[in-house]
Amino acid sequence: MSEENKHRATAAAILPLVGGAANVTSVAHCMTRLRLGLRDRSLVQEEALKALPAVMGVVEDDTYQIVLGPGTVNRVTPEFEDLVEEGRADAPAEPAAPAAPAAPAGGSDPVTAEELAAQGAALRAERKARNATPFKLFLRRIANIFVPLIPALIGCGIIAGLNGLLVNLGWLPGVTPALAAIASGFMALIAVFVGYNTAKEFGGTPILGGAVASIIVYAKVADVEAFGQHLSPGQGGVLGALAAACLGVYVEKRCRRWVPESVDVLVTPTVTVLVSGLATLFGLMFLAGEVSTWIGDAADWLLAHGGAGAGFLLGGLFLPLVMLGLHQALIPIHTTLIEGSGFTVLLPILAMAGAGQVGAALAIYLRLPCNTSIRTTIKSALWPGFLGVGEPLIYGVSLPLGRPFVTACAGGAFGGAFVGLFNQLGTDVGSTAIGPSGWALFPLLDGNHGLARTIAVYAAGLLVGYVAGFVATYWFGFTRTMLEELNAAPDEPAPAAPAPVAAKERVAEKV
């Protein structure tokens, strides 16, 4: 089967399992996930969906997210969109409701991957309800502005790394200036894209958001004086663009309300750009520039003085932040650091959280030799975990078990402490883009002491995270009762257990 046919077959297999074309209201994707808006989530046949070879896991949030992995999701999404359009054109019949799940086995049966998946789904639903606060919804909208930029950040970051390597080796001197231009062009204009996406996200006219944000990168702003000093092109960066475009959306909406329709096409764009542009030049650029400088200085100070302690906290708390939806606040911080110094020193530390999950999964695999169901799940999810796609391990294994999720976070903490220590000692380990982690981050690494040392420190940090997550989970991830319940052979009755409790209560007891 050709690659194109394979991806279309994957899309065709997914569509009926999410309720058919009539149940799909929106289709989008990020780095690893197909994100679907669904009319009725009760029509989703989740177990059958997760059984598909191409599906690494599912995540329920504001959209229904199917984890396909980097690269694959970019190819499956357009095929899925085509099938949805075809299905709507053919006016399909009402999708059938999924078959009722089999009754749960008695208390004497071992806990299976299916039961863990059900517990994981309950935890996801609880997390979704807990995350639906105005502040977290606002953070999600901020993330929606920056996530579409990630592919360009990755591509340009890899080219920048390649160009740096060629320059250091003295190879291809006639080509390196061209590579530098290719790598730097997007970053020079990133404010424009941020402005465009901001206006789109908050209900304004996207091109007006881009127009207002483009003022920030215009070379002649150097002739403008604000707060007693001349502005610099790019001053304020993405934060200034974000603020300018938000202001532009506000002004545009006010104009739409009061300007007569007969002159709206002339007056509204003019007033929007003029008012927002003046506010950007004589206020927002300077203020956002000060904030951007403070963020860079704060990150440098944190790792220069906190070092291992800061890395321990960042690496250990990152996955709980993801569970709470607060990690989205880091996206503009990463982008600001990349814009200012060429790389973000925070991402390699946060990537250690995934290493802890991998180490924990290996320990679970060894501690449960009789539970073939969970071991099968781990085998299928482990390699994506090495590549930084951690959702299948988190939601399919460690989080439903409870204690192993905590010990996995401990592994990430020790890996983060290792990388943070080297930052404190003067070896910056950074990433030129956001999005990938695990082994997939290697092509994007950069630092202040050469690529070889940066790669070595990051690789050693991953190893520390793997080992610490493994040791913590192997020795502290299970109680005796958990092992008896989870490790019972399928053909042997487990020891007598108390009356069954709800999945949520069982997870709580294991924690």
Cα(498)–Cα(479) distance, rounded to whole angstroms? 16
How many Å from the N-terminal Cα to the C-terminal Cα in the chain? 46
Cα(97)–Cα(87) distance, rounded to whole angstroms? 17
Task: Give the residue from 356, 370, 393, 353 showing the smallest Cα distance to 471.
Answer: 356
Cα(450)–Cα(81) distance, rounded to whole angstroms? 44
* pLDDT tens, residue by residue, 277-304: 999 999 999 999 999 889 888 988 888 8
- CB count in 10 Å sphere of residue 306: 16
202 with 140: CB under 8 angstroms?
no
- CB count in 10 Å sphere of residue 454: 23
Query: What residues contact residue 243 under an 8 Å CB cut-off, 6+ apart?
Result: 236, 280, 284, 287, 288
Buried b (16+ CB within 10 A) or exposed e, 427-447: bbbbbbbbbbbbbbbbbbbbb
Task: Give the residue from 345, 432, 358 showing the smallest Cα distance to 391.
Answer: 358
Per-residue confidence in pLDDT tens, the chain, 511 aa: 566 688 899 999 999 999 999 999 989 887 778 989 898 888 999 888 988 888 877 877 778 889 887 778 888 999 999 999 888 887 544 444 444 444 444 444 556 656 666 666 666 666 555 556 777 778 778 888 988 888 888 888 889 888 888 887 889 889 999 999 998 899 889 999 999 999 999 999 999 999 999 999 999 999 999 988 899 999 998 999 999 999 999 999 999 999 998 899 999 999 999 999 999 999 999 999 999 889 888 988 888 888 899 999 999 999 888 776 677 778 888 988 988 888 999 999 999 999 999 999 999 999 999 888 888 888 888 888 898 878 778 877 888 888 999 999 999 999 999 999 999 999 999 998 887 789 989 988 988 888 889 999 999 999 999 999 999 999 999 998 988 888 865 544 445 444 444 443 433 344 3
Residues noted as catalytic: 30
Half-sphere exposure in the Cβ direction for 248 (13 Å, CA): 37
For residues 117, 120, 126, 129, the Cα torsion angle rounded to the nearest 10 degrees is: -80
Q: Is 65 helix (H, G, I), strand (E, B) or coil?
A: strand
* pLDDT tens, residue by residue, 383-439: 888 988 787 788 778 888 889 999 999 999 999 999 999 999 999 999 988 877 899
Residue 493 DSSP label: P
- Between the alpha carbon of residue 416 and those of residues 310, 316, 341, the distances in Å are 8, 7, 21
